[in-house]
């Protein structure tokens, strides 16, 4: 997380704005970590989705949203109100005016995160947020050189820069040419690209001296379709709620570690990597579920996420295994497990096994 993002996510009122779902989710997670480094203590996070516009009553009404924003928490501590698809609050003048007024009288123990697809800088709401809070832009980086820069290298694009920077955060060194190849192979979906970088991280194993170099053959082997890691088989089993298969893979990994070609991740270091693989799978499903709930067809969602034709049937089946609320709950559970692993005095095998059991609980439908 950059220093700029860290500063912004500490603001009492935060607007997350843009068309890149992965970046928006990262900014939201950063905002939650800033306030609750040990995880959600209970009912401290109240989430709405398109209040007043959604057909699902569980997404909340306009009245309930303003009630939460204007009311201090009953038992002390901080209350974080999160609004997904907050564009619903600015689409009608009456609600927009009420929001402008509410932003000026938020109680001291209430903090607000508003997630927009678009919020023009010249609107009153945007100007008010700039006065009292912060704004994080989450725009999809361009995958091509701008026309006025056409004389430059084709590798000098914002998307390549993002891939290089994100690889560096993982302790990887990738040249612009290899980053460009990765973008061409996977597409410009940052969630998918981050998942591929995670695979490369696993493939190259722990660093010994300095950043690990990503070569062209690594990109071709993994991003072009290679799937040789039981960690991702485990993630697939969890996504399907196949508890038996997930536990079987988990026991093997606990016993043998992760073998990746001529590299190896020991059984004592595999836990964080497994949580990362599961998180990447469920995060992608959450993004897909959000698109479905916006009215996109299954084919449109698959196109948006660059799902290959031969994987579309299992991808659609996985989406049917969890509702949006279940996916959000699963991601919170992953966040808590990650924090538990970083703590002391708890057996890591037990943390991950308990997580897998929780995430493969059979669905309960009314």
User: What is the domain-level CATH number for residue 33?
Assistant: 3.40.50.300
Residue 267 CB contacts under 8 Å (≥ 6 apart), including other chains: 253, 254, 255, 256, 257
Domain match, 333 and 270 both: yes
- Residue 307 counted as domain residue: yes
Domain match, 9 and 102 both: yes
Domain match, 294 and 193 both: no
- Residue 17 counted as domain residue: yes
- Residue 142 counted as domain residue: no
Domain match, 247 and 200 both: no
Q: E strand or H helix at 111, and its extent?
A: strand 110-116
**Quick check: 57 pLDDT over 60?**
yes
Name which of 12-26, 49-63, 224-238, 311-325 the model is least confident about. 224-238
Region of residue 50 (phi > 0: left; psi between -120 and 50: alpha; otherwise: beta): left
Domain match, 183 and 256 both: no
* Nearest partner of 70 among 34, 101, 115, 31, judged by Cα: 101
pLDDT band of residue 262 (cuts 50, 70, 90) is: very low
- Residue 41 counted as domain residue: yes
Domain match, 346 and 264 both: yes
Domain match, 245 and 317 both: yes
pLDDT of residue 291: 86
The residue ranking higher by pLDDT, 54 or 259, is 54
**Quick check: 207 pLDDT over 80?**
no
Distances (CA, A) of 98 to 105, 111, 114: 11, 17, 15
Q: What would you report as the CA-atom Rg of the chain, rounded to the nearest whole angstrom?
A: 21
Instruction: Give the predicted TM-score (pTM) of the model.
Output: 0.62
Domain match, 133 and 160 both: no
Q: For the domain that residue 343 is a member of, what is the CATH number? A: 1.20.272.10
Note the pLDDT tens digit of each residue in 298-357.
888 887 776 766 677 878 888 888 888 889 889 888 888 888 877 655 688 888 999 999
Domain match, 11 and 118 both: yes
Domain match, 47 and 170 both: no
Phi then psi for residue 178, to 5 deg, are -70, -35
Note the pLDDT tens digit of each residue in 266-298.
555 577 778 878 888 888 888 888 888 888 888
pLDDT of residue 146: 63
Domain match, 215 and 238 both: no
pLDDT of residue 9: 76
pLDDT band of residue 60 (cuts 50, 70, 90) is: confident
pLDDT of residue 147: 60
d(CA 85, CA 117): 7
d(CA 161, CA 51): 36
- Residue 213 counted as domain residue: yes
d(CA 197, CA 200): 5
22 near 188, Cβ under 8 Å?
Answer: no
- Residue 126 counted as domain residue: yes
**Quick check: 114 pLDDT over 90?**
yes
The residue ranking higher by pLDDT, 111 or 207, is 111
Number of folded domains in the chain?
Answer: 3
Domain match, 154 and 256 both: no
Domain that holds residue 102: 3-137
- Residue 364 counted as domain residue: no
């Amino acid at each position: 997380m950059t220093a700029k993002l860290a500063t912004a996510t500490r603001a009492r009122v935060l607007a997350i704005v843009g068309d890149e779902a992965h970046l928006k989710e990262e900014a939201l997670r950063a905002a939650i970590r800033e306030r609750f480094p040990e995880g959600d203590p209970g009912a401290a996070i109240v989430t709405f989705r398109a209040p007043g516009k959604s057909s699902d009553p569980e997404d909340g009404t306009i009245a309930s949203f303003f009630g939460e924003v204007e009311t201090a928490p009953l038992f002390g501590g901080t209350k974080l109100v999160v609004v997904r698809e907050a564009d619903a609050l600015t689409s009608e003048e009456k609600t927009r005016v009420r929001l402008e007024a509410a932003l000026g009288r938020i109680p001291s123990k209430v903090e607000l995160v508003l997630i927009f697809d678009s919020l023009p800088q010249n609107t009153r709401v945007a100007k008010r947020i700039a006065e009292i809070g912060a704004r994080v832009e989450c725009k999809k980086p361009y995958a091509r050189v701008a026309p006025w820069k056409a004389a430059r290298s084709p590798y000098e694009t914002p998307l390549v820069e993002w891939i290089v920077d994100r690889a560096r955060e993982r302790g990887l060194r990738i040249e612009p040419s290899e980053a460009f190849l990765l973008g061409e192979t996977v597409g410009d979906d940052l969630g998918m690209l981050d998942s591929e970088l995670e695979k490369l991280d696993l493939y190259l194993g722990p660093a010994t001296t300095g950043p690990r170099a990503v070569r062209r053959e690594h990109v071709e082997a993994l991003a072009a379709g290679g799937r040789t890691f039981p960690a991702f088989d485990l993630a697939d089993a969890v996504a399907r709620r196949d508890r038996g298969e997930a536990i079987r893979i988990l026991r093997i990994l606990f016993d043998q570690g992760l073998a990746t070609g001529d590299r190896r991740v020991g059984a004592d270091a595999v836990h964080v990597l497994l949580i990362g693989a599961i998180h990447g799978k469920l995060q992608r499903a959450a993004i897909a579920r959000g698109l479905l709930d916006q009215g996109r067809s299954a084919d449109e969602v698959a196109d948006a996420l660059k799902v290959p034709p031969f994987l579309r049937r299992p991808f659609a089946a996985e989406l049917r295994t969890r509702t949006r609320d279940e996916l959000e709950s699963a991601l919170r559970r992953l966040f808590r497990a990650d924090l538990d692993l970083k703590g002391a005095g708890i057996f890591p095998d037990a943390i991950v096994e308990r997580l897998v059991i929780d995430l493969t609980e059979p669905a309960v439908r009314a």
